[in-house]
Amino acid sequence: MQMEIQKSMQKTIMRSVEFSGVGLHSGISTDLWVHPAGVGHGVVFKRVDNTVATPVRASWESVSITDLSTSVGVNESRVSTIEHLMAALCGLGIDNALVEISGPEVPILDGSAKVFVEAIEAAGIEIQNAPKQVWRIKKPFLYEDGGKAVKLEPADFTEYRCTISFSDSVIGRQTIIYRHSAKAFFELAVARTFCHYRDIDAMRRAGFALGGSLDNAIVVTDEGVMNPAGLNGGDEFVRHKLLDAIGDLSLLGAPLAGRITLYKTGHGMHAKFMRELMKRQDEILELVSVPGNYAEAGPAAVLV
């Protein structure tokens, strides 16, 4: 009985962990530290390379840029490409952490959340003396924009249905149904970011993908995948898009509990959806304590 009670409590990391690497878009090498934090702290980013930078809460209200990644904060305090780290924290049930970083962008590492997940698990997860909370979906909510859509429906579990469609690419159309659990999350965590080779020059002229390589991204051509080792499963593309979505939607401040359907969404769509949802927060959502362990129940992901 005591274990069941503990499973519904807030969590932080047991000891600090450090990551180093290049930013996918900036090409700037940075060091990043994830530190333990107290009950109710949430996830907060702090730039340590600039004395005028102020801490930025990982919140939908702090989102500033959504071009090919998600950024929070502005000017000297801005931290970009936070979605993979946020997904790792959310997927492992971490509620409270201080993230210090020596530059403007979270390291891309191998292009997935795998390294973050493994390091946090190795550091240990501390159960804290306060109830964990989730957003319970009280009634259906649909947000559509330009042929993209996010739909919320009430359910007694957290389940995602994510569809991507790249009709002009070998990626094509993929759909995944994912019931959240810590074990199933690792299947998402290893999925890497991707792009089409024909888009790279334009992205770099616009100041993006300056740190990108075959070591940290899947690159596809009209013929197939350029990466020598190939894919981590045929559904890696849709799994990565869902990973991004989980990281972005964690900026609501608590996980969503219910059925979430994502159709052709991306960072910009996620930010618009969160703003519209929170305008109707009292009507659609209810913040409730988790009755069991949010991060350890449910089957693995299924490609359909």
Is the pLDDT at 295 greater than 70? The verdict is no
Which segments of the chain are extended strands (E)? 9-13, 17-22, 29-36, 43-47, 56-57, 63-65, 71-72, 97-101, 125-131, 133-137, 141-145, 148-153, 159-166, 172-179, 194-196, 218-220, 256-257, 259-263, 285-289, 302-303
Distance CA 84, CA 69 (A): 10
Give the rounded percent of residues in the chain with a pLDDT score beyond 90: 88
* Domain boundaries for CATH 3.30.230.20 within the chain: 2-131
Q: What is the pLDDT averaged over residues 151-176?
A: 94
The β-bridge partners of 222 are: none
Distance CA 124, CA 238 (A): 29
Distance CA 134, CA 297 (A): 15
Query: Would you give the end-to-end CA distance of the chain in angstroms?
Result: 37
Q: What is the pLDDT of residue 291?
A: 66
Q: What six digits make up the tokens of 42? A: 């949430």
Is the pLDDT at 6 greater than 90? The verdict is no
Architecture of the domain made up of 133-303: 2-Layer Sandwich (3.30)
Q: What is the pLDDT of residue 290?
A: 80
pLDDT tens digit string along 203-212?
999 999 999 9
The β-bridge partners of 257 are: 136
Whether the CB-CB separation of 133 and 288 falls below 8 Å is answered with: yes
Distance CA 180, CA 246 (A): 10
Known catalytic membership, residue 267: yes
pLDDT tens digit string along 105-140?
999 999 999 999 999 999 999 999 999 999 999 999
Is the pLDDT at 294 greater than 60? The verdict is no
pLDDT tens digit string along 20-77?
999 999 999 999 999 999 999 999 999 999 999 999 999 999 999 999 999 999 999 9
- Give backbone dihedrals phi and psi of 67, rounded to 5 degrees, phi first: -80, 105
Could you tell me which CATH class the domain 2-131 is placed in?
Answer: alpha beta
CB neighbours (10 Å) of residue 213? 12
Q: What is the pLDDT of residue 44?
A: 98
Distance CA 224, CA 297 (A): 36
* Domain boundaries for CATH 3.30.1700.10 within the chain: 133-303
Is the pLDDT at 91 greater than 50? The verdict is yes
Distances (CA, A) of 6 to 46, 96, 152, 292, 299: 30, 16, 28, 9, 22
pLDDT tens digit string along 229-244?
999 999 999 999 999 9
Considering the chain, what is the average pLDDT of its residues? Answer: 93
Q: What is the pLDDT of residue 303?
A: 41
Distance CA 150, CA 105 (A): 27
Catalytic residue selected from 25, 84, 180, 267: 267
Q: What six digits make up the tokens of 231? A: 């894919």
